[in-house]
Amino acid sequence: MQATVATFDPATGAGSVLTDRLDRLEFDGAAFAAGGLRLLRPGQRVRLDTAGDRIVRITVATLPAGTPPRSPG
């Protein structure tokens, strides 16, 4: 599923997204960390991986699905 970042707190890694169906969903720092991203900006398009009703990973929508995060270094 894809969505647009609504809010993001860089201190905690938590925030919210607005889905294409206009549902606002919250995510925690673990979902942000699982995507290997460094920052999100409001308005940025993202892809969401979910388990049930919980967001478990956020990645940039322009990357192919299933692309593992790049390790630093």
Does some domain include residue 65? Answer: no
Does some domain include residue 28? Answer: yes
pLDDT of residue 64: 63
Q: What is the pLDDT of residues 5-58, one digit of tens each?
A: 999 999 999 999 999 999 999 999 999 999 999 999 999 999 999 999 899 999
Q: Does 71 score more than 60 pLDDT?
A: no
Does some domain include residue 41? Answer: yes
Does some domain include residue 26? Answer: yes
Q: Would you put residue 12 in left (φ > 0), alpha (ψ -120 to 50) or beta?
A: alpha
pLDDT of residue 63: 62
pLDDT of residue 62: 78
Task: Report how many domains make up the chain.
Answer: 1
pLDDT of residue 61: 83
CA distances from 37 to 15, 21, 22, 47, 56 (A): 14, 24, 24, 12, 13
Closest CA to 57 of 32, 38, 25: 32
Distance CA 52, CA 6 (A): 21
The domain containing residue 32 runs over which residues? 2-60
pTM score, whole prediction = 0.81
Does some domain include residue 33? Answer: yes
Does some domain include residue 67? Answer: no
Does some domain include residue 44? Answer: yes
